[in-house]
């Protein structure tokens, strides 16, 4: 059983979307997917809504702090924002592959409802493409 951690600043938006796509793309594999933040901000309603538009319900997710997973030996640790990558506490996983990609943050946009929707759509598609390629790149047996 492989363990994957997706880490962001507040575990409210980008890491939650990544968690949802990893779970979806790896649903038939022996993999545990976790997401966490170096802080916890609760779930972002825009992230929940944009994922539902793509047929994925992440409403049951929780916003978790990375310290909650300190005893798990991760195979992959993926930071999805520069702030988490630069401020991530030490995670004691023996042989974890550590990856980083700074995804666009739609939660920072101030604008109309249409502009906000477009921002979440942009982030979702970027995250979906990255994690689809990630799943295709590595061995999951």
The total of other beta-carbon atoms located within 10 Å of residue 108's CB is: 8
Q: How many helices (H) and strands (E) does the chain have?
A: 4, 4
Q: What are the pLDDT tens digits along the chain (141 aa)?
A: 999 999 999 999 999 999 999 999 999 999 999 999 999 999 999 999 999 999 999 999 999 999 999 899 999 999 999 998 888 777 878 789 999 999 999 998 999 999 999 999 999 999 999 999 999 998 886
Closest CA to 12 of 76, 107, 93, 104: 107
Whole-structure pTM value:
0.94
Tally of domains in the chain: 1
CA 65 → CA 1, 17, 54, 129, 138, distances in Å?
A: 22, 16, 26, 26, 26
Print the domain residue range for 102: 2-137
- Contact between 74 and 96 under an 8 Å Cβ cutoff? The reply is yes
How do beta strands 31-37 and 2-8 pair? Answer: parallel
- Say how far apart CA 62 and CA 44 lie, in whole Å: 11
- Amino acid 90: pLDDT: 74
Count of alpha carbons within 13 angstroms of residue 41, beta-carbon side: 16
Active site residues: 8, 81, 88
User: The domain spanning residue 70 has which CATH number?
Assistant: 3.40.50.2300
């Amino acid at each position: 059983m492989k363990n994957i951690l997706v880490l962001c600043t507040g575990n409210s938006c980008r890491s939650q979307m990544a968690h949802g796509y990893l779970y979806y793309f790896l649903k038939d594999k022996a993999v545990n997917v976790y997401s966490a933040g170096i802080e916890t901000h609760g779930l972002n309603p825009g992230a929940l809504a944009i994922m539902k538009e793509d047929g994925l319900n992440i409403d049951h997710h929780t916003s978790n702090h990375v310290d909650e997973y300190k005893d798990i030996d991760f195979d992959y640790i993926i930071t999805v924002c520069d702030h988490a990558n630069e401020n991530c506490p030490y995670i004691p996983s023996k042989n974890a592959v550590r990856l980083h990609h700074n995804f666009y943050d739609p939660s920072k946009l101030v604008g109309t409802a249409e502009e906000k929707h477009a921002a979440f759509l942009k982030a979702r598609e970027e995250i979906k493409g990255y994690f689809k390629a990630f799943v295709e790149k590595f061995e999951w047996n």
